[in-house]
Structure 1
Amino acid sequence: MLYNRHRFGAQVKVVGDNPDSAQQMGIDVKRVRVKVFVFVGIGAAIAGTFSVMINFTWWPTAGDGYLLPVLASVFVGGTPTWGGIGTVVGGAIGAVTVSFIQTGVVAAGLSGFYVQFFNGLIIILSLLGHKWNQARYR
């Protein structure tokens, strides 16, 4: 809601697309970037707090195991590496698809190493699909 229906969201879009143009339009680029970093930091702090509350423990590398499935979910959901055209709905569909694939690999009796292999394979195939099927906007 903040991103789609508020002036700050429009400023974030403009600054992310072309900071020089945003500066010429009178937008304080440094202030917008600081605000975005603050919002991302608050979100990360809340996620970390919930992780500690769920797991009853804390370790600096606790989220490292989520990196590959998250990247696979984002790329399967339709967000290309150059950014700019991804959607939240696409990311959710990508997350469901990757979780179903992980569940299927485990249900087939394969070890956890194959889950990582298929996550990497999904990332490579989806990036190749993005390269061949979508026009590059930048």
Structure 2
Amino acid sequence: MVVVLVVLVLGVGVFRPGFLDADNLLSTGRNAAYVGLMAAGMVFPLAMREVDLSVGGNFALSMVVGAVLMRDGMPPWLAVPVILLMATALGALNGVITTYARIPSFIVTLATALLFRGIALAFAAGKQIFEVPRDNSFFVDLGGRYLGVPVTLPLLVVLGAVLTLVFTRTRFGAQVRAIGSNPDAAAYTGLPVDRIRIQALAVSGLMAGVAGTLALAFFMSGDPTLGEGFELTAIAAAIIGGTALGGGRGSVPGAIIGALILALVTSALVFFRIPINWTSFATGAVILVAVAADAALRRYRTRTI
């Protein structure tokens, strides 16, 4: 995936040198960071055969709730843990309903996606909330740049590294992969499948809250309409990055790189002056090529083994 990313950047840069401008690449990376954070969290439920379609609504609700709290006088840095706790609780709620109501997570999170965004629209009265203390260090530090680099990007790298360690080096990550590989065998051996499912969806909710917090810091407003379609892009990024819908395996770095690839494709369309209506087509084509290539590679490895 890293090779694909580099080839994409250089390939577009050959025909449109302005694409390689540092400001353009950094801006594209910052735009991809929000989906990248959600894709990194999405790896956990996908790896155990679950899906979270509510991250876009959770993202919007996190922005709006944060803006409302700050507008009503809560110090921005104090509002951050409230936002993250709320987002994590919403993700866990998806897991609880899925587990105890015995409803597929696809259906549950499809419903809660509409529910969360509806609450965000109600809180914001259908419009953006601009009345926030924009001169506060929260907006200056998290929404600005450090040494010319958007702060969102190093945070994406750090959080991606943390989630990679959790997924690959902790008991929780091993349980997620084991359950995704064979849920029946995992339950038979005594793994706490229900608890792990709730925790995996809670991680997904947490990362949506982190993305919403950073978006609030950058846009300096709570927009209840922002993030529409982010859930599908995050799932696509995770799949492109090597996370299997059949469960059992995933890659947090791959999901982040997948988000960058999708953002670069969108940016490249702009430089080639291709109508924005073709963005969905290009995204779908990238997903199909990536999934087909991954399937072919796995079949090749199976034959060689």
TM-score range, shorter chain: 0.7 to 0.9
Counterpart check, 1:22 vs 2:197:
no
**8 Å contact from structure 1 (residues 4, 10) kept in 2:** yes
The offset of 1:39, in angstroms, is 2.6
The offset of 1:83, in angstroms, is 4.3
Q: 1: CA distance between counterparts of 2:253 and 2:210?
A: 22
1:92-103 map, 5 Å: 92-103=256-267
**8 Å contact from structure 1 (residues 68, 120) kept in 2:** no
Counterpart check, 1:57 vs 2:57:
no
Q: 1: CA distance between counterparts of 2:196 and 2:250?
A: 21
1:2 to 1:30, Cα distance in 2 relative to 1, 3 A: same
Q: Computing the radius of gyration over CA atoms, which structure comes out larger, 1 or 2?
A: 2
The offset of 1:68, in angstroms, is 5.3
Task: Provide the secondary structure at the position in 2 that maps to 1:22.
Answer: helix
Q: Which has the higher contact order (CA 8 A, sep 6+)?
A: 2
Q: 1: CA distance between counterparts of 2:211 and 2:205?
A: 10
TM-score by length of 1: 0.73
Q: 1: CA distance between counterparts of 2:229 and 2:196?
A: 31
The offset of 1:13, in angstroms, is 1.9
**8 Å contact from structure 2 (residues 216, 222) kept in 1:** yes
**Unaligned segments of structure 1, at least 5 residues:** none
Q: 1: CA distance between counterparts of 2:192 and 2:231?
A: 33
Greater CA drift, 88-97 or 100-109: 88-97
The offset of 1:134, in angstroms, is 2.8
Find the counterpart in structure 2 of residue 34 from structure 1.
198
Greater CA drift, 97-106 or 70-79: 70-79
Find the counterpart in structure 2 of residue 124 from structure 1.
288
RMSD, matched Cα: 2.7
The offset of 1:72, in angstroms, is 4.5
1:68 to 1:115, Cα distance in 2 relative to 1, 3 A: farther
Question: Which AA in structure 2 matches 1:51?
Answer: A
Find the counterpart in structure 1 of residue 131 from structure 2.
none
Q: How many residues of Structure 1 are paired with residues of Structure 2 in the alignment? A: 135
Counterpart check, 1:114 vs 2:272:
no
TM-score by length of 2: 0.38
Counterpart check, 1:10 vs 2:170:
no
1:84 to 1:108, Cα distance in 2 relative to 1, 3 A: same
**8 Å contact from structure 2 (residues 240, 258) kept in 1:** yes
The offset of 1:76, in angstroms, is 3.5
**Unaligned segments of structure 2, at least 5 residues:** 1-164
Taking every aligned residue pair, what percent have the same amino acid on both sides? Answer: 30
Counterpart check, 1:82 vs 2:249:
no
1:124 to 1:7, Cα distance in 2 relative to 1, 3 A: closer
Task: Provide the secondary structure at the position in 2 that maps to 1:64.
Answer: coil
Task: Provide the secondary structure at the position in 1 that maps to 2:191.
Answer: coil
Question: Which AA in structure 2 matches 1:33?
Answer: R
Question: Which AA in structure 2 matches 1:64?
Answer: E
Q: 2: CA distance between counterparts of 1:68 and 1:41?
A: 15
1:87 to 1:31, Cα distance in 2 relative to 1, 3 A: closer
Deviation sequence 1:12-52 (CA, Å, 0-9, x none)? 22222222222222222222222222332222223223333
Counterpart check, 1:46 vs 2:210:
yes
